Amino acid sequence: MFRINENYLKLPGSYLFSTVGKKSKAYMDAHPDKKVIKLGIGDVTLPLSPTIIAAIHKATDEMAHKETFKGYAPDLGYEFLRSAISKEYAGRGAEIAIDEIFISDGAKSDSGNIGDIFADDTKIAVCDPVYPVYVDANAMSGRTGDYNPETQRWSSVIYMPCVSENGFAPEIPDEVPDVIYLCFPNNPTGSTITKSELQKWVDYANDNKAVIVYDAAYEAYISEDDVPHSIYECDGALTCAIEMRSFSKNAGFTGTRLGFTVVPKALKAGDVSVNSLWARRHGTKFNGAPYIIQRAGEAVYSPEGQKEISAMVGYYMNNAKIIREGLESAGYTVSGGVNAPYIWLKTPGSMTSWEFFDYLLENANIIGTPGSGFGPSGEGYFRLTAFGTYESTVEAMERIKKL
C-alpha cells in the first residue's frame, strides 16, 4: 500500500490569492459598471523588450536547422549565460566563477529546492511577513514542526518579525538558526537593507556556521547607493551565503522562466563542498533551462538589453513613486516603493488587513493584497504593487485621495 508524505497534510491552505480572486470576482459580478483597478498582483505587465524578443527569434530559428539545433542544455547552464552573469558580478566587485553559477527556471524553484541539500533537522529562520515558498518548502520536508492555526506559526521555525517598530528589518534571533532566509529588496514589505546591516548578518552566519539563503529577485529595483545588489558585496559572504536571482521581475520573464543560484565553492560544511552537492542535486533533478530562453537571458546583459530593462524598471518605479506619494498625501503611513515595486501601508485606525481589503474594493474599487496573508506580523498592513499601468495607477491614487 502506498503512503503519502504526510507533511503535506500539515500545510495550511494557501487562501491568500484565491480569496482575493473570489472576493474581487464577486464584487465585479455584482457591480459590472464599476472599473476595478488591480494593484494586487506580483506579476509584471509590460511585454518583453525588443532586444530580448530578437534573441528569442534568432534562437528559435537556430532550432529549425540541423546545423544549429540544440538538444538538452548543459544541466548547470550554457557557458555564454554563466559568463555574462559572472561578469556582472565582477562589475559589483564580487568574484563569482562560472562554475559557481547554476542556471534554473526561476528563483521560486531554487528557493524551494535548496533545502534538499541540508540535514532533515535543519532549523530555519525567516522574516515575518515573508514570501511563502521558504517556509512551505521546508514544511514539505518535515522540518518545521507543527502548524498552529491560531498563531499562524510553525513550532520549529524561528520567526523574525519585520514591523514598523523595527523599520521592517529582521533582528538577530535569540536562538541560533542553521539556515537563514533573507530577501532584499523585500516582498512584501518593499523594505531593504544597507550594506553595513547585511554585513552584520554575514558575520553572524560565519561566526555561527549558519548559511544565508539570499533571495535577490528584486535587486534591479534598487535606487539608493548604500543598498547592496548582491550579498557577495559583503566581506566573508563567500563562506556563508547562497544567492538566488531571477529574470522575472527585472526583465519580465515571469512567463518565459529563467533564474539562477550562486553557490560559492568556499561554502563548506566541514570539508564537504556545498557547491558540489548542489551540482549533484541540480544535475539529477533538473535537465536545464531552454536554450532559447538562455539566449534571451544573455540578451538581458547586452548594452541595449540593459537599457531596455532599466526603462521597464523605471516605468514601474515611477508608478511606485505615484503610489507612495499619493498615499502619503492622503494621510497613510507608508513604506517601501523606493528600492522595490511594492508599497506597504499601515491600515487606517484599527482595521485588519482583510477589512481594509473590503473597504478599498467597495469604496475605491481597488484591489490590493492583505498583509496578513504573508504572515502574522503582516496583520494591520496592506500591499499595493507598482506593476499596473501608469494611467490606472494615477487613477487609483485619485480615488484614494477622495475617500
Ligand X SMILES: *Cc1c(COP(=O)(O)O)cnc(C)c1O
Output 264 or 297, the one with its CB closest to ligand X.
297
Contact status: 282 vs ligand X (CB under 6 A): no
Q: Coil, strand, or helix at residue 288?
A: coil
Contact status: 230 vs ligand X (CB under 6 A): no
Question: In the complex, what is the shortest distance from the CB of residue 102 to ligand X, in angstroms, rounded to a whole number?
Answer: 13
227: its cell numbers = 543598498
Considering only residues 87 to 126 of the shown chain, the ones binding ligand X according to CB under 6 A are 106-108
Contact status: 217 vs ligand X (CB under 6 A): yes
* H-type alpha helices, 31-132: 50-62, 79-91, 107-113
Contact status: 42 vs ligand X (CB under 6 A): yes
Q: Coil, strand, or helix at residue 9?
A: helix
> Which residue, among 106, 51, 72, has the nearest Cα to 296 in the 3D structure?
51
* Opening angle at CA 233, ends 231 and 235, nearest 5: 95
Question: In the complex, what is the shortest distance from the CB of residue 99 to ligand X, in angstroms, rounded to a whole number?
Answer: 22
Question: In the complex, what is the shortest distance from the CB of residue 387 to ligand X, in angstroms, rounded to a whole number?
Answer: 11
Question: In the complex, what is the shortest distance from the CB of residue 137 to ligand X, in angstroms, rounded to a whole number?
Answer: 12
Which of 83, 122, 141, 254 lies at the binding interface for ligand X (CB under 6 A)? 254
Question: In the complex, what is the shortest distance from the CB of residue 29 to ligand X, in angstroms, rounded to a whole number?
Answer: 29
Stretch that binds ligand X, among 3-11, 142-150, 245-253, 281-289 (CB under 6 A): 245-253
> What DSSP string runs through 144-213?
S--EETTTTEETTPEEEE--GGGTT-----SSPPSEEEEESS-TTT-----HHHHHHHHHHHHHHT-EEE
Q: Coil, strand, or helix at residue 316?
A: helix
Output 102 or 400, the one with its CB closest to ligand X.
102
Contact status: 184 vs ligand X (CB under 6 A): no
Question: In the complex, what is the shortest distance from the CB of residue 293 to ligand X, in angstroms, rounded to a whole number?
Answer: 12
Contact status: 223 vs ligand X (CB under 6 A): no
Distance CA 364, CA 359 (A): 8
Distance CA 229, CA 210 (A): 21
Distance CA 279, CA 256 (A): 23
Distance CA 51, CA 49 (A): 6
Q: Which residue number places its CB atom closest to ligand X? A: 106
Lateral strand order in the sheet of 241-246: 101-104, 259-262, 241-246, 211-215, 179-183, 124-128, 158-161
Contact status: 242 vs ligand X (CB under 6 A): no
* Residues 258 and 289 sit within 8 Å (Cβ to Cβ): yes
Stretch that binds ligand X, among 221-229, 242-250, 271-279, 291-299 (CB under 6 A): 242-250
Contact status: 248 vs ligand X (CB under 6 A): yes
Stretch that binds ligand X, among 119-127, 162-170, 243-251, 332-340 (CB under 6 A): 243-251
Helix (H) / strand (E) element for 320: namely helix 303-329
Considering only residues 303 to 342 of the shown chain, the ones binding ligand X according to CB under 6 A are none
Stretch that binds ligand X, among 68-76, 247-255, 322-330, 391-399 (CB under 6 A): 247-255
Output 289 or 299, the one with its CB closest to ligand X.
289
Q: What is the binding site for ligand X (CB under 6 A)?
A: 42, 106-108, 131, 183, 187, 215, 217, 246, 248-249, 254, 259
